[in-house]
Amino acid sequence: MSPSQVLKKPRLVVMGSREYAVDDYVADFEKDFEFTVLDAQNRQEALVKLPELVKKTGPFDALIIRVGTAEFEPFDEALLGPLVPGCRIIASASAGYNEFDVEWMTRQGIWFTNTRSAVAEATADMAVLLTLAVVRDAFRAERGARSGTWKAGIVPSRDPSGMTLGIVGMGSIGKLVAKKAAAFNMRVRYWNRTRLGIDDEAEYNARHCATLHELLAHSDVVSLHCPLTPKTEGLLSRAEFAAMKDGAFLVNTARGALVDEDALIEALESGKIARAGLDVFCDEPDIKEYFRTSDRVVCMPHAGAMTDEAFRRAERECLENLRAWLQTGTPVTPVNHVVVDRAEKSEDGDTE
C-alpha cells in the first residue's frame, strides 16, 4: 500500500530546540498530518521522552528535525530507534547531515531528506560577512574602539576589490557567495567535484580549477562550502596551507572538521594565513582556546543559518518533502534511496 492510500492522516512528530521553532507553517502541516511536538530540549530528554511518547500515543509515520540540532546530536539508532518500525520518513531542516546516521535509516526503510536551498542565502551572507571581517581586520578595529585605544597598533587592512576568492564547493551556497562577491569586485575561482557548465560559469563569472591545490595557489581568500564526508574530513591540512599564498585568508561556514585545526593554528601563528573567519568548529561548542582568544580569528557560534527567513524556508522545504512523499511515495530532496518500503515488503511476504 502506497502512502497516498492511507485513509487517516499520517502522524508527524517534530523535534528541535524551542527557540528555533517557526510556527508559520503549523496550520499547513496540520492539513495533511496529525501534528505533535516532542517536549524535549536536548538529547538526554529526547532519549527518555520519545519512547514514552510512542508508547503512550502510538507509532509515528514521519519526523521533522528543526534547525538547531546540536543539543540532540548525533541522530542515531539510540535516539531514533523508538520510531521504528512505524516511521517512514525523516525530514531535516538543515543542509548538512554528517550528524545523521543515514545508513541506519536506509536499512530501516526510512527516507531521509535535507534542505537544499533554505539556508543557502543566509549562509552565503555569513561567508561574505566573515570575508570582509578578516580582510578588513574588523576584530582588532572593533576591539580598539571598544577599549579606548582607538587606532593604536592598527595597520591598514586589505581591500577586497581585485582579490581572488577561491570557492571550495560550488553548490547552492557557493554559487550565491560567487554572486555576492561580484559586488566587491572580487575575481572568483572554484573547485568542485563536478565542473559547472559553460553557462553557469559565465553566470557566476567563475573560473574552474582542476585541483584543490591549483585553487589554493591562486586565491587570496579561500571559502569552504562543501559537505563533510569521510573523503572531505581534514580537507585542509598542512600541505594545503603550504600551497596557499603567503598572507591568505580562510573562511569556513561549512563544517569544522573540513579543516585540520592544529594545522590552521600553525599557519596562523606563522603568518602563512593572515586571518581566519570561522562559523564552524570541530568540537562545538567547546572550541579551542586559541580560536576564542586570538586576534587572528573572527569567530561566530555556527550562526550562518540563524535568520528568521532561513528558518521559515527550512520549515517550508520540510513540508514540501513530506507532502511529496505522501502523494508520490518519494520526497523532493532525498539524501538516501529507499527501494522498497516495509509496508510493501510485508504485503509481498518478503522478510529480511
The CA-CA-CA angle for residues 7, 8, 10, to 5°, reads 115
User: Does the active-site annotation cover 218?
Assistant: no
- Which is catalytic among the residues 11, 140, 296, 302? 302
Report the alpha-carbon distance of residue 9 to residue 77 in Å, rounded: 26
106 grid coordinates: 536506509
Residue 34 parent element (H or E) = strand 34-37
User: Does the active-site annotation cover 302?
Assistant: yes
Beta bridge partners of 113: 91, 334
User: Does the active-site annotation cover 255?
Assistant: yes
- Which is catalytic among the residues 269, 284, 292, 309? 284
CB 154 within 8 A of CB 129: no
- Which is catalytic among the residues 255, 296, 313, 342? 255
Q: What burial class does residue 155 get, using C-beta atoms within 10 Å of its C-beta: 0-12 exposed, 13-18 middle, 19+ buried? A: exposed
| Residue from 239, 231, 140 nearest 193 by CA | 231
**DSSP assignment string, 141-210:** HHHHHHHT-TTTT-------TTPEEEEE--SHHHHHHHHHHGGGT-EEEEE-SSPPPHHHHHHTTEEE-S
Active site residue ranges: 255, 284, 302
